[in-house]
Structures are given as structure tokens and as C-alpha cells.
Chain A
């Protein structure tokens, strides 16, 4: 079923939108209009349909008009011209009162910067939309609790947003959107501010939440991987125009123009996926203490059946790798009272979180141990094993155009 139908939608920022629209229809480009009139074209003649229950991703680089487009769907930005039919009703013609009712009941939004109210607790934030609708305290808290447990935040109700990590804050943002039980959720770069591991986790959760729901999600993103991962269908925007709409496969196989092609050309997974995105945290880490700890570390590795352990300082900065063999040797030589540094393996190189798979391939391939990944501050983020590397490669191969 068609949930949202967008017809001839324009947004011009400037004093005389009609003039600019006419110029666009006569073939002037966004640049021409900006040079001639100083007006900015936000969205240029958008036409597409969003189906009920799908995750529809609007993708484009910054300045492509995707944020403007999504804000016209709930009229945070007033369209200059065109129609937006939602459930058959043209929201561009709604009165202010009807629009407020519509926002209260049918549509919620999740923001890139989370936009949580700092003076409200997690529970009150999740209940925010219901409070605006005048829902009773008992009922709105019940529904907010329910929404929070859907995103895995039970037990955090009494905390304030600032006490939570970025990922958890965005869970609250998501719970706030879910609590009003809308039929449409607009997500504006909702996961872009999160670090890669958490981002993937949130994408998975969104997919799970969406599994048994006929909710429609309009998701704005500049991240191709994200679009391919969660989008049922994708619209690609450039310079205010929607250049192509289709399923990921359709777009991959039949790119509409060079712009779209350029987007996908680089999609060799080893070029796109960074080390930080595929690290695992299952390998044992040992925080170095002043005492030796060689024997304890050996026991830990044996107990967990790992060959290698990663030694960090108290600030979680990476120091070195020890192996069962190197530790065993120390025990046999009666060096257990010496610092653990004496057991470090030689020739260990770390990878950076932003290195892509291509960069780290030689190291992963040539070493018996999974390669440690650190960030700019040398903080240990996890490891990339051969196994993990190959699995990622295999998974992303499905996305590649043949």
C-alpha cells in the first residue's frame, strides 16, 4: 500500500520561490539560480512513493537536500510547492491544528544529535510525545517503559541523558519515537553520530524492531553501507534532485546516471569497510599491573582456550601481545616475578580503527595472532582475526555488482 506519495515537491530558500521554480522548470540549474537570484534550491521536483511497512532510505551527500526533504514530511520545513499525500491526505494543505494532531499521533522523529531534553529523565524523555498529547501520567509512563524495554534500556529510567553513552542516548531517542506508536518514523541521520560498532548494532536492532511491524520508516543517511544494510528501497539525491529510486539490487545493477554509478563504483568491500567496523572483542585482554602476573595470565589464556592475550595499561591503551608459548617459556625459566613486558611477542603492529580492510590485509594474513586495532589515542578497540576478515568479505560480496 502506498503510505507516502510525494508529487512535484519543491523547496526554495529565498524571497521568491515561484520565480526560482519557474526557472528550474525552464532548465536552469541550482547553480544558475543561486548566481542569478541568490536563492537556494533545497529540493527540486521530487516525485516518489513510500510503501507501508518499508524502510525507505534517502541517501545523498551533505547538501543534497535529504534533510530538507524529510523535514517537509512533517512540515518542520514548509514546502514551496507540490503535494505530500500521507494516508491519502495532503499534509501541505493541513491547518496548523490538524498538523499538530498529525504530528502527535502519526509521525515521530529521531535526530542525528539525539535532541533529548537534558532536564528530563530517560523515562520522561521517552514519554515526551505522550505528555504533549496530554496522556495521563500512569498511562504514558507505562508506554514509555514498554518502549524503553524494546530498545533494551530497562533499569535506566531514572537517569538523565548526560549520564548515558551516545549509543544509549540514541536508544532513548528511538524509544521516544516508538512510545507514541506512530505509523511513520522519520530518522534523520539517526546513527551517524555513533561509532561504527554501535552503529551496526543499532541498525540490527532497528531491523529487529521492524520485523513484525507495519510501521513505515524514512531513514536519511549519507552512508552507503548503512543504506544497503537496512534499506528496503533507496532514493538517491544529488543537488536537490532525486536521481534514482529502487531496491538496493536494482540500483546496483542499473545505476541511473554517473552520479549513482560513482557512488557504487568504490564498493569494493575491502576499500569501504574499516578495521574499526569489523573488530571483535572476544579475545582476552589483560590489564598490566605492577606485579608480574605472568602465571595468572597463562592460566587465564588456558582457561579460555586462547593462544594470545592483549596487554593494556589501566587506560586501555595497547601495550603488547603475549602468547601461551611466551608465557610458558617464562614459567619454565622461573621468570614469573618479572614484568609481563618480558613475554611480549616481537614484531607486533597495530591497525588503526579507520584503516580499511585493504590496508590491514597483509598484517592479518601474515601473523598467527589476530591483529590488534587501536584508535588515535592508542586505545585498544578489539582485534581482527583471519576468520573474521574472510567472513566479512564473504558477506559483503552479495552486495557487489557483478
Chain B
């Protein structure tokens, strides 16, 4: 029965995206601009700072939020990446992750708070979040390329979309988990809605929000590697190159660097989120 194709959806989509590209180029350039500035700032900065200082900074963060074990691990892992010859690529990847996570946080936390406090808004947003999270990551890349062309910035934009849902969802969850009696108590003592948010809901949701940040960082790291398919730099490029030339050694070593960087970022942010009030 399905011999005839009645719904040429793909043609409509193509037409729509082409229309966007032709008529709303300026709008997309406007979106692109802050991301571009932030990314190039991070990238130049991280590559200008001597590696020793970056490594020590990460190790101190690890020590501060977790302890000696993680600090030593961070030190060893990052030094190892350096000696593998991937320091610059790693810093580019880190810059892309930081830039995407920054924008995810700036957009995601307010959205999360709004969905946490408003049931209707949550219902509206939920299908979008589901779509953002479940759409295969490769699918993003085509319209992104059409709208923003190729390169690091386009990669970061794809990453922002892909990595945003967890921070929205967990911020919302964190706000919802605040015991209603605490909100009631604050209101009874004369808190305004803003005070309830700033003095009760956000502080109490913070561990959950940080867990969301951790998830967002992990997803961003996964996506910036895939973004190499549209010409983004960093640790993804050697992986793609290794794939194309069947250079197994290159691909595995670059992959190993990604894993180590992921472990360092994951452990540090996880221990940030783990601080609870005892």
C-alpha cells in the first residue's frame, strides 16, 4: 500500500531550510556572533597559557572539590595527553566544550527554572527537549552547516543544541524537588516570589543543577568530537583522519585523550555536585 509516496516531507524541509538561509541569514549571523567571540576567546586563551599552568589549575580544582586522589589523577592524565602530542587539540576541544556549556547554562538554567515553577511551560517544552535529546546527533549537522557553514563555531552551535536538555531537565527537577513546606514557610515569613527563588529554591536545587551541568559537559564532549565531521577542530579531527586513512594508532590515541579529558571533567564536576548539607 505504501508504493506511492504521498508525503514528501523531506522536500518541504529542504525548501524551508533553504528559505531560512536565503531570507534570514542576518538573524543566524547574529546568533553566531557571540558564540564565535566566546569560542575564539577560550581557544586563544587556553592555547596561550603555558600547559603547566593549565594542568596545575585543573589539579588544584580537583584537589579543592574532591581530594588528593583526583588531583594526582588529573595531573597524570593531563600530562600524559600532552606527551601523546595532543595538547593543542585537547585545548581546542576544551575551549569548545567550555563555550557550549557556558551557553547551555546561560540559556538552560533560566528555562529549567521556568519549567520547574510552571507546569504548563514544562508540558510545552518537554517534546522539544525529547527531540533535542533523541535526534541522532548526525542529523543536526546538515541544517547547521546550511545555516552556519562549517568549522568550530558551527560545531559548537550543534553541541549547544545537543547538550542543553540535561541542564534544563535537572534544573527543573531540582526546583521541583524542593519540599513544598519550605516554600510555604518562606511565604509565611513574607518572602516574595523572587526571594523564594533566590533564597530557597535555587540554593536547594543547586546540587541537582550541578548534576545537570555535569551531564551537559559530558554530552558536549561527545558532540564536539562528532562535530569534527563538519570541520570542527580539536581531538575529533585526528579521530576522523584516523578513520579515513585507517590509521588505527592515531584514532585510538586521540580517542584515549578524549576519554582521559572526559574523566577529568566528569570527576571534578561530579564532586562539585556531591556537596550536600550535612
Binding site for B on A (CB under 8 A): 74, 76, 100-105, 107-109, 111, 113, 115, 117-119, 128-129, 131-133, 160, 162-163, 176, 180, 186
Contact = CB atoms under 8 A, between A and B. Distances in A.
B184 interface: yes
Nearest to B183: A115
A32 B26 CA distance: 64
Contact of A180 (B189, B203, B204, B277): B189
B179 interface: yes
B188 A103 contact: yes
A128 B185 CA distance: 10
B187 A76 contact: yes
Given A132-B195, A160-B277, A162-B278, A115 B189 contact: no
Given A160-B277, A162-B278, A115 B190 contact: no
B190 A113 contact: no
Given A76-B188, A103-B189, A118-B204, 13 more contacts: A76-B187, A100-B190, A100-B191, A103-B190, A108-B188, A109-B185, A115-B179, A115-B181, A117-B200, A117-B203, A128-B189, A132-B199, A162-B278
Contacts of B204: 117-119
B79 interface: no
A109 B199 CA distance: 18
A101 B278 contact: no
A198 B181 CA distance: 23
Contacts of A117: 182, 185, 199-200, 203-204
Contact of B190 (A118, A132, A160): A132
B186 interface: yes
B239 to A, nearest CB: 43
A123 B71 CA distance: 35
B29 interface: no
26 contacts: A74-B188, A101-B190, A102-B190, A104-B190, A107-B188, A109-B189, A111-B184, A111-B185, A113-B179, A115-B181, A115-B182, A115-B185, A117-B200, A117-B204, A118-B204, A119-B204, A129-B190, A132-B186, A132-B190, A132-B191, A132-B195, A132-B199, A133-B190, A160-B278, A162-B277, A162-B278
B44 interface: no
A264 B242 CA distance: 86
Contacts, number: 63
A129 B204 CA distance: 18
B14 interface: no
B118 interface: no
B15 interface: no
B192 interface: yes
Nearest to B276: A118
A133 B199 CA distance: 13
A162 B277 CA distance: 8
Interface in B184-228: 184-192, 195, 199-200, 203-204
Contacts of B199: 117, 131-132
A176 B195 CA distance: 17
A304 to B, nearest CB: 38
Contacts of B192: 100
Interface string B92-120: 00000000000000000000000000000
Contacts of A105: 190
A109 B190 CA distance: 11
Contacts of A180: 189
Q: Which of A102, A103, A105, A180 has the most CB of B within 10 A?
A: A103
Interface string B137-171: 00000000000000000000000000000000000
Contacts of B191: 100, 132
Interface string B265-278: 00000000000011
A160 B277 CA distance: 8
A119 B199 CA distance: 10
A119 B202 CA distance: 11
Contacts of A107: 188
A115 B181 CA distance: 6
Given A115-B179, A115-B182, A163 B195 contact: no
A104 B189 contact: yes
A76 B195 contact: no
Considering residues B186, B189, B191, B192, which has the most beta carbons from chain A within 10 angstroms of its beta carbon? B189
A113 B181 contact: yes
Nearest to B188: A109
Contact of B184 (A104, A115, A129, A132): A115
Contacts of B200: 117
Contacts of B203: 117, 119
A117 B186 CA distance: 9
Nearest to B185: A115
